[in-house]
Amino acid sequence: MTDKIKMTTPLVEMDGDEMTRILWKYIKDILILPYVDLKSEYYDLGLVHRNETDDQVTLDSAEATKKYGVAVKCATITPNAARMPEYNLKKMWKSPNGTIRSILDGTVFRTPILVNGVTPYIPTWTKPITIARHAYGDVYKNTEMKVMGGCKAELVVTDKDGNESRQLIHDFDTDGVIQGLHNIDKSIAGFARACFNYGLDLKQDVWFATKDTISKIYDHRFKDIFQEIFDNEYKEKFAQAGIEYFYTLIDDAVARVIRSNGGYIWACKNYDGDVMSDMVSTAYGSLAMMTSVLVSPDGIYEYEAAHGTVQRHYYKHLKGEETSTNSVATIFAWSGALRKRGELDNIPELIKYADNLEKATIDTIEDGIMTGDLYLISKLENKKKVNSEEFLHAINERLQKLM
Ligand code: NAP
Ligand code: MG
């Protein structure tokens, strides 16, 4: 073994909770620290420490991410009523992911990790489909009311001088409902830039779809903003990278996605992204094999696994029972963050290490060594279920040979 790989800029490291916190330490000890002279600025986002710092640590970690540009995050508990007595909480702290997303103003990209032996429910999906979900507005910030028969509902917009413009929504003969939605040009533009930047990063086409034939002003605004930004800022870069931006109607997009082989980024409005990401991730087979990266419009990256803290496995672990928890998405969060650090700081060894770590992980599973979740669905003939730690040692055996 040669010298450890040196880093120049710190990686922002956000530790988390429960079973994923246990995996976090295993991954560092077994797969990272033996190879990389890790330079990280550590933030403990575990619920105990968030509670101690009145959640200041979450804000600090997001500010550090802005400063350094790349973060890796462990899954964290979003407290609910049951967590209040469990952790003796001062407050039902907000979701750290929500807090970080709003500070970085980012878009979340979710990508499945494909392995031989686990066939997607759509067998033609031989390459991953990355879903990019716009994380602001529409039905998630709606205003809605019941309306009684005999009422007239109108849209009223008042300008800063108090002048009103009105449009009839509906004259209700009988009872019904109404809903008011909004979005903001700046947020749509940030979403568009994040998608185009990510397409350039991955060298993959970007697809975007809305219902602009029906929603001729609202959805059309999304379509126009994407097109303007693409034409003015990205057209040449896309041509150089040999990739395309492609807009179509959402109905057409859905049909094309099913017929496709994958290998592109599908940008979705907030609701479409919510629904379609559940469909796509289920179709690829396992939540434990889904990575997630938050990308801000100015090119800041935060990598994590798409799953939660795997609470049920943690309680088994606390009772001293053996666990077989899949660490793949968390490993890929680390490899993604280290690779990005390598790209930004021009450290080819770090990029190579990240590639090797991913290859060793996939090779392990394709050699038939896997955790319980994959053991249940893998079609490999000679497969073996291992525990959480054995899985990481099996990856390291392969990583050692690659390094
Ligand atoms: P979860 O942690 O994703 O786990 C749900 C179930 O999915 C597990 O019980 C397990 O099924 C399976 N699973 C998920 N990840 C797995 C893995 N890596 N290996 C093997 N199996 C895996 O969701 P949850 O239990 O609903 O949520 C637990 C906590 O996570 C909550 O406090 C929630 O707030 C938090 N959460 C955090 C994030 C985040 O930080 N990004 C995201 C979602 C949820 P079996 O039990 O059948 O084995
Ligand atoms: Mg959903």
Whole-structure pTM over 0.85, yes or no?
A: yes
Give residue 310 CA to ligand 1 midpoint distance, Å.
Answer: 4
DSSP designation for 161: T
User: What string of H, E and C letters represents the secondary structure of 24-84?
Assistant: HHHHHHHHHCCCEECCEEEEECCHHHHHHCCCHHHHHHHHHHHHHCEEEECCCCCCCCCHH
- The tokens 């185009």 sit on which residue? 196
Residues with CB under 6 A from ligand 1: 75-78, 97, 287-288, 304, 307-312, 325-326, 373
Give residue 308 CA to ligand 1 midpoint distance, Å.
Answer: 4
Q: How far is CA 342 from CA 5, 34, 102, 241, 349, in A?
A: 10, 17, 26, 20, 8
Ligand nearest, relative to CA of residue 332: 1
Exposure string for 127-160, b = 16+ CB within 10 A, e = fewer: ebbbbbbbbbbbeeeeeeeebeeeeeeeeeeeee
The residue among 360, 358, 337, 362 whose CA lies nearest residue 347 is 337
Ion ligand 2 residue ranges (Cβ < 5 Å) = 274, 278
CA 373 – CA 375 distance, rounded (Å): 6
Amino acid at 266: W
**How confident is the prediction along the chain (403 residues), in pLDDT tens digits per residue?**
568 999 999 999 999 999 999 999 999 999 999 999 999 999 999 999 999 999 999 999 999 999 999 999 999 999 999 999 999 999 999 989 888 988 887 899 999 999 999 989 998 999 999 999 998 888 888 899 999 999 999 999 999 999 999 999 999 999 999 999 999 999 999 999 999 999 999 999 999 999 999 999 999 999 999 999 999 999 999 999 999 999 999 999 999 999 999 999 999 999 999 889 888 888 888 888 999 999 988 889 999 998 999 999 999 999 999 999 999 999 999 999 999 999 999 999 999 999 999 999 999 999 999 999 999 999 999 999 999 999 999 999 999 999 9
Give residue 138 CA to ligand 2 midpoint distance, Å.
Answer: 15
Q: How far is CA 225 from CA 135, 188, 209, 217, in A?
A: 16, 7, 13, 12
Give residue 10 CA to ligand 1 midpoint distance, Å.
Answer: 29
